[in-house]
Structure formats: structure tokens, C-alpha cells
Amino acid sequence: MLDKVNSMELTHLILDVIADRMGVNTIMLDMQSVSLMADFFIISSGESERQIQAIIKEIKLQVKKKLKVLPLLIEGEDSSGWMLIDYGGVVVHIFSPAMREYYQLERLWSDASVVVKMQ
């Protein structure tokens, strides 16, 4: 798992990429007090399969290029309306609006503190 400094640098880079690729309703949850699986969840939505794929592709590219970090796991397909990138301490969820409403991760993890919220 990444150390705290690297986790924060990673989260900032990922949030910047999501903003650049026009992800919507982005939040970052501090999971440290509610789960052992990750320090932070970043949850965002893309308006189309193409946008979801572009966000995921650019996150992987920029994190590898700037931080020399590869994902531990990538799950889902853009056509499914949900993709996940697991960097150990930071887990990124990119949803279509419909799948985000269906899974309701913010409600599931409502005990986690919201660190960042971007419309």
C-alpha cells in the first residue's frame, strides 16, 4: 500500500485528471476509519461509455507517467457503466449516472468522511 504522502499525491493527480476529462459529481471519501481495504475512494461519473473510458485511460497514463505507479487491479468495462482502478490505498470508481444510482456507494459508505466534493 502507498504511504500517506504518496496516497495524497496520487489522489490529487487522479482528481485533476477527472476534472480535466469532465467527470461529474466527483467525491473523495476518507475510508481509513471505516474500512481496511483502502485509505481513499474516489467516485465520479462519466456521461457516456466513451467518457468513462477516456477518464480511466488518462488516469492510468498520468499515474504511470508522473508517479511511476501501476494499478493493482482494473475491474469492469466502460460498456457496463462502471469501472474500478485499484491502486492499493486509493480506489477509483467511475460510473455512468444510472449505475452510480444503482450501487449508491456514497450511501453504502456514509460513515466515511467526504474529503473532496466537485460538481
Model confidence over 45-71: pLDDT tens digits? 999 999 999 999 999 999 999 999 999
Asked whether the predicted pLDDT for residue 30 surpasses 80, the reply is yes
- Average confidence (pLDDT) over 16-32: 96
Q: Which residues of 68-89 are buried (b: 16+ CB within 10 A; e: fewer)?
A: ebebeeeebebeebbbbbbbbb
Write down the pTM of the prediction.
Answer: 0.92
The cell for 103 is 450501487
What number of helices (H) and strands (E) belong to the chain? 4, 6
Asked whether the predicted pLDDT for residue 2 surpasses 90, the reply is no
- Cβ pair 116, 15 in contact under 8 A: yes
Would you state the CATH architecture of domain 4-113? 2-Layer Sandwich (3.30)
What residues are paired with 86 via a beta bridge? 73, 91
Rounded-to-integer distance, Cα 65 and Cα 20, Å: 16
The residue extents of the domains of the chain are 4-113
